[in-house]
């Protein structure tokens, strides 16, 4: 037995070793896995609710990794740890620390100098971190929760609606999301901001 997953467009497959890090060995279908991961992520969202977080805290390695661990740590033992394999998306895994450090420095600068609008900063951060792809999996969900955290905790703004549909399963909302991500090359993120507020 074991988990035999199929992947849809825009998902990053796990290596055999990463799959082996599943903590709950009774899971055998994608549906079960999606549900357990979702329950774990909701706990992370609850944990976030009660917390006051400054920009310096949010834009720290500690927080980025802790958030991922809280989102998926009950399901996967690699949660909260940098990936150690290359994926079809993301930088070479050995270069994750340097890319992340640059992003965190940039983000602190944008906030301190109000370089862009609040939504622009949150979505640009989301795009850049998902392009680094720090983790074996869950990068998309983690990047969206980071954007929500930035907008809510730093700016006291309204959470993003992310297309108001299902982003995990195949469908129109996910296709629109992936299309907006592809348009975003770091400079043209208008489509992704529009999507996040739709």
Q: Does 137 bind Mg ion (CB under 5 A)?
A: yes
Q: What is the DSSP string of 130-178?
A: HHHT-SSS-HHHHHHHHHHHIIIIIT--PPP-GGGS-SSSSSHHHHHHH
How many residues bind Mg ion (CB under 5 A)? The answer is 2
* Binding partner selected for residue 141 from ligand ADP, Mg ion, none, CB under the kind-specific 5 to 8 Å limit: ligand ADP
Q: Does 10 bind ligand ADP (CB under 6 A)?
A: yes
User: In the complex with Mg ion, which residue's Cβ is closer, 65 or 135?
Assistant: 135
Q: Which of residues 81-100 bind ligand ADP (CB under 6 A)?
A: 89
Q: Are 167 and 173 in contact (CB under 8 A)?
A: yes
d(CA 170, CA 8): 7
User: In the complex with ligand ADP, which residue's Cβ is closer, 27 or 181?
Assistant: 181
Q: Does 19 bind ligand ADP (CB under 6 A)?
A: no
Phi, psi angles (nearest 5°) of residue 76: -130, 135
Query: Which range binds ligand ADP by CB under 6 A, 54-62, 106-114, 130-138, 188-196?
Result: 130-138
Rg (CA), the chain: 16
d(CA 49, CA 153): 9
Instruction: Write a three-state SS string for 28-61.
Output: CCHHHHHHHHHHHHHHHHHHHHCCCCCHHHHCCH
Of 71, 123, 130, 189, the one binding ligand ADP (CB under 6 A) is 130
Q: Does 131 bind ligand ADP (CB under 6 A)?
A: yes
User: In the complex with Mg ion, which residue's Cβ is closer, 8 or 102?
Assistant: 8
List interacting residues with Mg ion (CB under 5 A): 11, 137
What is the contact surface with ligand ADP in residues (CB under 6 A)? 10-12, 89, 130-131, 137-141, 178, 181-182
């Amino acid at each position: 037995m074991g988990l035999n997953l199929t992947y849809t467009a825009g998902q990053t497959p796990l290596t055999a070793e990463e799959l082996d890090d599943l903590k709950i060995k009774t899971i055998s279908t994608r549906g079960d896995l999606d549900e357990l991961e979702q329950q774990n992520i909701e706990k992370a969202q609850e944990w976030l609710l009660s917390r006051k977080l400054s920009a310096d805290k949010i834009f720290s390695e500690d927080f980025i990794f802790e958030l991922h661990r809280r989102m998926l740590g009950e399901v996967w033992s690699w949660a909260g740890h940098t990936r150690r394999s290359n994926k079809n998306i993301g930088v070479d895994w050995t270069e994750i620390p340097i890319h992340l450090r640059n992003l965190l420095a940039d983000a602190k600068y944008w906030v301190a100098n109000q370089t862009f609008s609040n939504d622009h900063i949150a979505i640009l951060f989301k795009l850049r971190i998902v392009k680094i792809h720090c983790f074996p999996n869950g990068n998309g969900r983690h990047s969206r929760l980071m954007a929500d955290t930035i907008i809510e905790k730093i700016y006291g703004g309204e959470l993003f609606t992310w297309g108001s549909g299902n982003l995990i399963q195949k469908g129109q909302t996910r296709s629109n999301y992936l299309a907006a991500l592809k348009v975003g090359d770091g400079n043209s993120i208008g489509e992704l901001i529009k999507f996040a507020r739709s």
